[in-house]
Amino acid sequence: MKKFLTLALILTLFLVSSFSLGTSPSYAYNQFDLDRVLRTRQCPQCDLSGADLEGFDLSEANLKGANLKGANLKGANLQSADLYAATLYKANLEGARLYAATLYRANLEGANLYDARLPGANLQSANLRRANLSSARLVVANLSAANLEGADLSDANLKGANIQSANLSGADLSGAIQ
């Protein structure tokens, strides 16, 4: 009977821990991919999910289709970087420099782009649903056909930005310069 109870307890603990691990977000980048992007700035389709890239210089990096889900890119230099169709879901891009970056069809849902600098960036058809773009500089950025549903664009600078066919339903544009 004692063996049965011990076995039942172990099985229960295993199931509970398996369930809790399966329901929590898991961001585990590939160390090889991280080393490669830092060394060569070439890492299309790579896995950098959850990577801490705060303040890194990734200017002109090729990150087409890369997985940067939950990555910390606070203050990173991504000037002229190619992030075509990249996944930046819930990534932290606070204060990041994305001048002339290609973010065409990128998924930035729930991303933090507070005070990010995106002049001339191509965000055409990007998913920015519920993204924080407050105080972001989007001067002459291309946001055509972008999904900005529920996004925070308060105090953002949108001067000369192309927002044709963009979904702005529920977006906060208070104090935004247009």
Domain boundaries along the sequence of the chain:
43-177
| C-beta atoms surrounding 27 within 10 Å | 18
Residue type, 84: Y
**pTM score:** 0.84
Q: What is the pLDDT along the chain (178 residues), one digit of tens a residue?
A: 556 544 444 444 454 444 444 444 556 899 999 999 999 999 999 999 999 999 999 999 999 999 999 999 999 999 999 999 999 999 999 999 999 999 999 999 999 999 999 999 999 999 999 999 999 999 999 999 999 999 999 999 999 999 999 999 999 999 999 9
CATH for the stretch 43-177: 2.160.20.80
Cα dihedral sign for 90, 66, 72, 59? Answer: negative
Question: Could you write out the three-class secondary structure of the chain?
Answer: CHHHHHHHHHHHHHHHHHHHHHHCCCCCCCHHHHHHHHHHCECCCCECCCCECCCCECCCCECCCCECCCCECCCCECCCCECCCCECCCCECCCCECCCCECCCCECCCCECCCCECCCCECCCCECCCCECCCCECCCCECCCCECCCCECCCCECCCCECCCCECCCCECCCCEC
